[in-house]
Every structure is written in C-alpha cells, then in structure tokens.
Chain A
C-alpha cells in the first residue's frame, strides 16, 4: 500500500524566509505525489503534483517540490514566505493503478511578521 510520512507537524517561519516542508513516500514503484493546502474552514486546494514527467515540479503561489527517488522524498519549498501562506499542508500519494489518495498527517505552517 502507498503511504507518505510528513516530518514535523508544525513549522514556524518568519515572513520572507524559506519554507521547507518534508514528505517521504513508501512505494515499491514511483507513485503519483501531490501537495495540497487547506485554509481554515475550507477544503483542500492542489498546490502541485508529480507524475514522472519532471523531477522538479512548480506549483501555484510560488511553491515547488523536487522528487528524489534515491531518498524517496518529495519535499515542498517556497523561497520567501508570505503571511498568506499560513495554512495546513498535506502530502498525498496514489498508486499507478489506484484512484484514491492517501494523505500524510499534515504540517501546519505559521508565518511570523
């Protein structure tokens, strides 16, 4: 079964600082990987997805993630944090023959002024 592990349930960054959210996947074959963001009292919004076309994936709102097979990782980064980035972020995986998403536990990002 596909699964992901997010390291760190809470990350606090200063405005303008680098945002780094860690995600490791468990899969015998390269899966499909996603990052979603959830703002309070809202559903999930897709930030970006990896589908094996390119290892460096650029998403919305200045986020990007790099797929590293050797490290089984798909970490999310943003060079400069903005106050509006305060939210909960979820890494998710689906298998090559799978229609469902398996989510990590989530990482809450707080941005300090």
Chain B
C-alpha cells in the first residue's frame, strides 16, 4: 500500500508570493491533516479535512488555507509569504475516526527568501 505522498519536496519562494502544497493520502483514508514544523515553534497543527470539509483548524492567520477534493487529495495554500513561513509542512492521513493513527508524509520543505 502506497504511503502518504507530498509534492513538491522542496520549494523556494520570495516574500509576498503565494505557494500551494499538495498531499495525496493513503488509499481509502478520508482525513488529511496539515502540520507546520519549525525549530522555534515545533510541530503545530494547521487544519484537518474530512470528506472535503474542514473539521478542525489551528491558530494560524487567514493566509493559510486548505481544501480537500473528492478523491481525498488535499492542498494547502499560503498567500503573501513571510520569512517566518519557512518550515517543513507535514501532511498526515487517517481513516478519520477518533484516535485513528495518523500516517505522515515526508513533508515539503518551504524556504522563503
């Protein structure tokens, strides 16, 4: 069974630009969560989608948004990039029930110059 895939793996952008990251969950999984990992703030929850609906949202500004498609693939978008948005963005998929194990992808490393 294929794991969670994220594209691209590495991305370099400049301040003010916008970026879209993609995540393909494990086949059959309907929940996709996004996390931001930085050396200073650690791992922080961004949002979670289940069956195309945002079910949970973390404490991030509105510049961070996401969506999920009918095939459960998800994208997250960051607009008006800031230097502080440089991070590893991790996607995790699960079947969607409470306490279900989350399977993580390898992440997308975003660098904002």
For B91-113 the 0/1 string (1 means CB < 8 A from A) is 01000101101111111000000
Count of A-B contacts judged by CB separation below 8 Å: 59
B107 & A96 in contact (Cβ 8 Å cutoff): no
Interfacial chain B residues near A46, Cβ < 8 Å: 101-103
Contact of B90 among A44, A97, A100 (CB under 8 A): A44
Residue of B55, B58, B98, B104 near A44 (CB, 8 A) is: B104
Q: How large is the interface on A (under 10, 10 to 19, 20 to 34, 35 or more residues)?
A: 20 to 34
Stretch at the interface among A20-28, A67-75, A78-86, A101-109: A101-109
Nearest chain A CB to B73 CB, angstrom units:
17
CB nearest neighbor in A for B47 = A100
| A41 to B103 CA separation, bound complex (whole angstroms) | 16
Complex alpha-carbon distance, A100 and B100, angstroms: 10
Known A41-B106, A99-B55, A105-B42; 6 more pairs at CB < 8 Å:
A44-B104, A46-B102, A98-B56, A99-B33, A99-B48, A106-B43
Contact across chains for B56 and A103 when beta carbons are under 8 A apart? no
